[in-house]
Structure 1
Amino acid sequence: MNKTLILGAGRSALGAAKLLLRQGHRPLVSDIAEKFPEIAQEIRADGADLVIGPQTPELLTGISQLVVSPGLSPEIPILQEARRRGLPILSEIDLALKVFEGTVMGVTGTNGKSTTTTLLAHLLQELGSKAEASGNIGIAPSLLIAEDRVPEILVLELSSYQLDFSQPIRNHCSLFMSFSPDHLERHGTMENYFKAKWKLMLGTVESGRLIMPRRIVEQAHAYAVPFPKAPITQIVVDAETPYKAYGPSQVVHIDSQKGLVSGDGFPQAETLPADLSFHNQLNVVASILAVRSLVEASWKDLLRGVTTYQWLPYRFQKIGSIQGHPVFNDSKSTNVESTLVALQSMRVPALVLLGGQPKGESFAPIAAHRDRIGKLIAFGAAGPKIESDLKDLNPIVFPTLKAALDAIVGLVRQHPAPLVFSPACASFDEFKNFEERGAFFNQNLTPLLDKS
């Protein structure tokens, strides 16, 4: 009997193990430490073998293929040895798609992929389709299949880490939402990072569709990546001009100031909901285009679905106001590009709160939006670098987020303006993840918010 070695014992490994067990296999799961005891307990209870400890070459004895959890480096010694032996290396996504017979839609990008994935699934569900958001968000697709919760349409959020180990994913519609510096400790260069994400595009079937902002098309040409035969829809925002694309393509325009969308596929200009932030205009338009590549639906029906969607927390989320000025929690902002997008959503200058654990990026691009910054507040490990890169903006620097929030009411009094918490940094200097950081912000600000 063929035997599979699953490296890593997290959420994706659990799904892979359950699916293999259902298929009559007994996988071996390996991790260097028991990081998720509840998952480890479930893996054992299901009947899979679990080994905790060093991942030595002996683990490969009798193994016919490996399934690798996305958080692992492609360069760890056991993977190098597996390649030397010619063993197939798969992702949990590959394992699931080997048996999934429905329609696949894939979403990637540095920012915006979680919102777009869940919005896509929601719109399809509102139209009566059996769709499920999966992949990097929600339930692993292999677990959906193993537990008989197989949807008609699988909407996959795919990180560069997942795509690193995946074969080309045969899908009907691929969306590449944004691209900016991130995960360079894994990929080494921006070009490698881009090409990891571009793997999603290469699997798009010829009768399918690629959807992406104009900037992504431009970046693809700069890196000279191959284009699949599927037609491209490029989304052009405001004054941007269309960029050449290989093969058939169409252009959709967003006027972010007027909240209008027009172009190919829209006989007349359509109005977007008035309260959408700049980046959510892009997420909504891309999702609507993707849905319409699969099913017939009117603009009115699709917008009704947008109004019933529950926006994900900590993504430019308005949590209330202080002294009449709105407060936005954008803790999901873990790089400079996402903070630039948040600033583009502001119509008046704001108090901008950023900081955390820097990723080696320059903060200087933020200065290009100085007209949207009333006062800059920095905190955490990135404070000194923010102060250096943006010295012309005279930032106020605090050692921690807590210290900054303790001073926030006084700062709003001194500089009456909206408050935008968009850190532009990782959270790991003070928090486990951006969710914990976002919850901490809300907990500390809620008592200070105006009573409605």
Structure 2
Amino acid sequence: MKTLTNFSYHHVLVLGLAKSGTAAAQLLLDSGVNVRINDLKADKETPEVRELMKQGAEVITGGHPLSVLDQVDYLVKNPGIPYDNPIIAEAEKRNIPVVTEVELAGLLHEGPLVAVTGSNGKTTTTTLIHEMIKSDHQKVSLAGNIGHVSCEVARNTGEDETMVTELSSFQLLGTEKFRPDISVWLNLYEAHLDYHHSLENYHQAKAQITANQTPADTLVYNADDENIVKFLPDVKAKLVPFSIHKKGEGAWSDETSIYFENERIMDKQDILLVGEQNLQNILAAVATVKVNGIRNEAIQDVLKTFAGVEHRLQFVTKKNDRLFYNDSKATNILATSYALKSFENPVILLAGGLDRGTEFDSLIPHLNGVKSLVVFGETADLLIETANKAGIQDVVKVETMNEAVQEAYKRSEEEDVILLSPACASWDQYRTFEERGHMFIQAVHKL
């Protein structure tokens, strides 16, 4: 496995362990760097921590004393730790560089690097790019916020291997020299203001994905997103747009097909993924891999068979001409509204979950195609009120996911879509949205 070479720092503090901190600490130790780890809740008796200590890491738990910065000349932080944390604030006062492990990955990886960010659609787009490159029989690895720690993946990649990495604003904010060969900027909405404190800060964090690019690099960007377009005058990379509204440049679509520049790629009716949001993700992926020289046949093979990332408008199955979709990741009204816009067929919507005091009136304009509503969880009664306002006549309240699926199926006809898109977090009944989605899939297969 590769280690850091020409790394000019000697005493590094890793703030926060979890997967990314553990991987960063191991890489630094293997690279001959002195490592100090500070984690409030880490247990020194776990095998992972004991192994790091055995290799020479100093581990401080139970608090965050400012003394952990003594002799430190570099700080690698967990992406979730905000910058107003006292340790990070003090490190910046002392002019100690503060990065996330993504910065280390950029120093390690020697082959082509593709980085994907956006407020929505990152995982789907990153996965599509990875699968298209793989389908063309080229070496490729998947990394980043998608579940594989970037600096760990980069240790095993060669010069001829493309690394495709999904990056959040939290990760990007902790980069200094990180420079993708191709960066992909999907969209830019309001998000994570509790972390970034302002919309401008959030936007600037996202813009970091292209900050170090040169004219030899490429930015694939959403030409339909005004928030992204306003950053373009400062971008040095070659610009490649994608758009569902503007035709003829980059990746685009008309009523029947998708294209890259003046080249037709395939019929839209042959694409398994549905919805406007997914069409944007598809065009972003197509633009990226065409820049990378991937054949149309490889793109077509993926788009004809890719059913979606799990729990994100994921096609589950077709039973007796009913189509089942799992969108358990839709934990807010905006996500559910996107899901509902994806279907022309009548929809039976399964919704409900944790009550965060949200009003659902903003969902009403998107309920036109909903013929039946099956509700559950703490917000069930609120959603019933919303259905009444929207004029939905058929509404049923249930207790369990099995009941929800059975009731939805009873109310369905051929060509109907049965969609789990809860518009709420899952924590009233489930540990995670993934658990909720798995329960839905199991209930569908029991029918």
Q: Contact 1:405–1:444 at 8 Å: present in 2 too?
A: yes
After superposition, give the CA deviation of every residue in 1:162-200 in whole Å (9 maximum; x if it has no partner): 112222531121112234443332233444333322221
SS in 1 for 2:27: helix
Task: Please state whether the residue corresponding to 1:205 is helix, strand or coil.
Answer: coil
- The equivalent of 2:5 in structure 1 is none
Q: CA deviation at 1:225?
A: 7.5
- Partner of residue 292 from structure 2, selected from 272, 294, 309: 294
| Match of residue 350, structure 1, among 320, 334, 347 | 347
Structure 2 Cα separation of the partners of residues 360 and 5 of structure 1: 40
Alignment partner of 1:313 is 2:303: no
Contact 1:353/1:422, CA 8 A, preserved across alignment? yes
1:283 partner letter = N
Residue 149 of structure 1 and its aligned partner are, at CA, apart by 6.8
Matched, 1:178 2:170: no
The structural deviation recorded for 1:290 is: 0.5
Give the TM-score, by structure 1 length: 0.84
1:246 aligned partner? none
Taking the TM superposition and a 5 Å limit, the aligned residue runs for 1:226-305 are 227-237=234-244, 240-241=245-246, 250-255=249-254, 258=256, 260-262=257-259, 265-268=261-264, 270-272=266-268, 273-278=270-275, 279-295=277-293, 297-305=294-302
Q: CA deviation at 1:16?
A: 0.8
Correspondence for 1:372 among 353, 364, 369: 369
TM-aligned CA deviation for residue 284 of structure 1: 2.6
**Superposed displacement of residue 285, structure 1:** 2.4
Whole-angstrom CA distance in 2 between matches of 1:115 and 1:283: 7
Equivalent residue number for residue 103 of structure 2: 94
The percent identity for this pair of structures is 27
Contact 1:357-1:382 within 8 A present in 2 as well: yes
Give yes or no for the alignment of 1:341 onto 2:338: yes
- Paired position in structure 2 for 1:60: 69
Gap change, CA 1:146 and 1:87, over 3 Å in 2: same
Amino acid at match of 2:252: H
d(CA) in 2 for partners of 1:65, 1:358: 42
Q: 2:135 & 2:401 partners in 1: Cα distance?
A: 42
1:14 aligns with 2:13: no
CA contact 2:401–2:439 (8 Å) conserved in 1: no
Q: Which moved more, 1:381-390 or 1:271-280?
A: 381-390
The range that moved more, 58-67 or 224-233, is: 224-233
Structure 1 partner of 2:327: 330
Name the CA distance, whole Å, in 2 between partners of 1:142 and 1:370: 44
SS of the residue 1:342 aligns to: helix
Q: Number of aligned pairs?
A: 432
- The whole-number CA distance in structure 1 between the counterparts of 2:160 and 2:433 is 30
Question: Secondary structure of the residue that 2:24 maps to in structure 1?
Answer: helix
2:3 aligns to what?
none
Question: Which range is displaced more, 92-101 or 10-19?
Answer: 92-101
Q: How does 1:394-405 map to 2 (within 5 A)?
A: 396=395, 398=397, 402-403=399-400, 405=402
Select which of 143, 151, 154 maps to 1:142.
151
Distance (whole Å) between structure 2 residues aligned to residue 11 and residue 408 of structure 1: 36
Change (3 A) 1:116 1:132: same
Q: Are the counterparts in 1 of residues 272 and 305 from structure 2 also a CA contact under 8 Å?
A: no
2:116 partner SS: strand
From 30, 41, 44, the counterpart of 1:33? 41
Query: Separation in 2 of the partners of 1:153 and 1:347?
Result: 38
- Unpaired runs of 5+ in structure 2? 1-8
Q: CA, structure 1 residues 130+324, in 2 after alignment: closer, same or farther (shift >3 Å)?
A: closer
Distance 1:184 1:212 in 2: 23
Contact 1:55-1:78 within 8 A present in 2 as well: yes
Q: Is the 8 A contact 2:220 2:241 kept in 1?
A: yes
Shift of 1:131: 1.6
One-letter code of the match for 1:429? D
| Structure-1 residue corresponding to 2:130 | 121
* Structure 1 Cα separation of the partners of residues 215 and 195 of structure 2: 31
Measured in 1, the distance between the counterparts of 2:308 and 2:243 equals 24
Q: CA deviation at 1:309?
A: 5.3
Q: By how many angstroms is 1:430 displaced?
A: 3.2
User: Which deviates more, 378-387 or 338-347?
Assistant: 378-387
* 1:441/1:164 CA distance change after superposition, 3 Å: same
Deviation, 1:286, is 1.6
C-alpha change, 1:377 and 1:69, in structure 2 (3 Å) is same
Distance 1:144 1:60, change over 3 A: same
| 1:321-358 alpha-carbon deviations (Å, 9 max, x no partner) | 46642211111223333323322221212011223346
Amino acid paired to 1:409: Q
Contact 1:120–1:287, Cα closer than 8 Å, also in 2: yes
User: Compared with structure 1, are the counterparts of its residues 29 and 144 closer, same or farther at alpha carbon in structure 2 (3 Å cutoff)?
Assistant: same
CA spacing shift, 1:324–1:46, aligned 2, 3 Å = farther
Q: Distance in 2 between matches of 1:202 and 1:445?
A: 46
* Partner Cα separation in structure 2 for residue 309 and residue 18 of structure 1: 35
Deviates more, 1:198-207 or 1:300-309: 300-309
**Which residue, out of 158, 168, 174, partners 1:165?**
174
Change (3 A) 1:168 1:379: farther
CA distance in 1, matches of 2:366, 2:165: 34
What's the CA shift for 1:226? 5.4
